[in-house]
Structure 1
């Protein structure tokens, strides 16, 4: 199902795509960025179907949903953006009430989505899943309590996705037997996902040597002070340059791509690495924290020269899974439990994906697709093909 909506006030367009239903429900975030297209949202919705299927555990309380996605073609910094968001949610309200569970994505925070959803007359942005819960009151309280948890002043919901991305990178390093202290990382984007990923990798012992935001790239071959940079961010992940040390360099925005690092983490926008600029990559691994940051022709060229791309459908699936692990009761509203469960699940998934890639002689993305192809019929047989 595909919906294209045009705002009668601003002329901005919004898109909603439901790729697949499981038990009548689909899951996927809502993004807002200038230039967002229907084709982009279609690809993201398909990716959500894959992320859900990859986390299927027949023994778990969380049963994966179908995949969906929403997108609005508007700069989130535009003064008119909030009104567009409210009107979009009001327009697709019946879908949110009955089919589509959504939340924050690129350009939007969960607080903003929640506020706009309430103004649009919705009970919650995830209310479509409530009929599937054994005890709705307890489940909603558990998720609310989890969102209230903070670690070092940062909400658990803003950290768990980066924990999953970092663990994915660490799993790859471990398979290659590369000590963490010998690995360097460059991160594009220091927002929710990129910032948390940088924090977890830095605390694991890796040197974060470059980070990029809208103002450019901040670099230091000896390693950046990640905690200081995170403390100096604004709401959009832009770092106040006054927090830089004398040894930190300010470089052009694309300098993160060619940084001397073993691991690259694109954690900002889609389509960041294309057939042309992939030639600048010297890293051994690209870990896709953002959705669809590496174009197919770029990935083909990277694979030909030995660069492994860990795909978004695996790497950044932890945030979505955490919501449902918590809501369905696989874990409680506790940070250490959430991090431990996320690390275990992501490491298992990455190892399974890389093993399949080695066995089949394919890329990790092709291996992830193969795992999904194996699991979707199993899920469909249990819950139905068309509902």
Structure 2
């Protein structure tokens, strides 16, 4: 890598830089394991691949793809694949590192990985999208596998893309390997409950956090940024618990209704090209005003780096539930803590998705599948046990939930590193 993209010298304000600061903050709580902390700052493996395809009009187009395996001391790599025009290596490095922490925080037998292609999938035909997916899978096929690294859906990827990835890998190894990816369609070894799992995890951790704060969900005002699978599912579950969704922002704009948005009408419209901005049941406001909306709970469920220092000063929320990965920059974290705003960090709050991905992986190996009620019961139990352990750690050391989550997770990661030793 060039000096500018060095593992330990990130470009300014990058997601990788945010992650490194988070690691630095937890080192004082690692005791004797602190000597291994540098392990957390260096991805195990970073692969950059060229993804050439023939377009429908006969042109040859090239896209840049990545797969980063951050740490695999506790098990095979686990992490999604995103298709987005702004994907960078540093972003994928950070996302893979957050997956390492996330899987350890909920005590799953995984390490962390992540992938991406710098492409705008909205500009591709279905056939071109399939070609990009299959070529990318072939290129990263040398490092993925059911026992080594298991991709999953992320931004702009879905069950169909996972089916293409699974089929491509299977054809290259000469046998159907359903466990190479998760988030697949049900009839190809997917799991019930997977699509809603991340949003459900946000709700479960948010419900417990609200209870501990003495915040009644009945009538609580909630603002949601990002209204895909995570944000919309979390919004639905909070609404069912009696809360009011007073503001929603997606890539099309921001809509606000202090009396509560009608989700039954909003969600279908948000799935169309018109997006949330096409909904007539609320006021359209400039995007920056989203952060000024009077709310009790804020759910950033879009992309990283959204809660800046200035936005942290403005929010009215008492509770922030990080549905997205890395939505709060470190300076904003400090401001929210000083203002008494509780943040449930991404690496525990949105871990529902990877937890049910783990269930899918286990079911694929056993060829025995559970019903959705059983999956939800298991998910809720794992999330609650993890959050309670983290909360106890935070209370013991008088630290934030984020630092406590990193303390718990990094102790597990580095203990595994220490006990495995260095080979050769």
State which drifts further: 328-337 or 70-79. 328-337
Q: Any conservation in 1 of the 2:189–2:360 contact (CA below 8 Å)?
A: no
Which residue, out of 336, 340, 343, partners 2:377? 340
Give the 3 Å change call, closer, same or farther, for CA 364–319 of structure 1 in structure 2.
Answer: same
Residue 75 of structure 1 is matched in structure 2 by 120
Residue 362 of structure 2 is matched in structure 1 by 328
The DSSP-based 3-state class of the residue aligned with 2:122 is coil
Verify: 1:30 aligned to 2:74, yes or no. no
Q: Per-residue CA shift, 1:349-385, capped at 9, x if unaligned? A: 2222223222212211110111013322454578777
Q: Any conservation in 2 of the 1:14–1:72 contact (CA below 8 Å)?
A: yes
Which residue, out of 20, 44, 48, partners 1:4? 48
Residue 196 of structure 1 is matched in structure 2 by 233
- CA distance in 2: counterparts of 1:89 and 1:54, whole angstroms: 29
1:1-387 aligned within 5 A: 1-8=45-52, 9-22=60-73, 25-56=76-107, 64-79=109-124, 81-97=129-145, 99-119=148-168, 121=171, 123-124=176-177, 126-127=179-180, 144=188, 147=191, 149=192, 156-234=193-271, 238-239=275-276, 241=278, 243-245=279-281, 248-328=282-362, 332-379=369-416
Q: Per-residue CA shift, 1:281-335, capped at 9, x if unaligned? A: 1211111101111111221222222222211110111111112134325995322
CA displacement at 1:18 relative to structure 2: 0.5
- CA distance in 1: counterparts of 2:106 and 2:274, whole angstroms: 29
Q: Any conservation in 1 of the 2:50–2:63 contact (CA below 8 Å)?
A: yes
- CA distance in 2: counterparts of 1:168 and 1:23, whole angstroms: 24
Q: Per-residue CA shift, 1:83-130, capped at 9, x if unaligned? A: 33332212111212362200100121122232244246464574289x
The DSSP-based 3-state class of the residue aligned with 2:49 is strand
Count of residues paired in the alignment? 361
Give the 3 Å change call, closer, same or farther, for CA 385–325 of structure 1 in structure 2.
Answer: farther
- CA distance in 2: counterparts of 1:332 and 1:116, whole angstroms: 21
Q: Any conservation in 1 of the 2:222–2:296 contact (CA below 8 Å)?
A: yes
| Structure 2 stretches lacking a partner, 5+ long | 1-44, 53-59
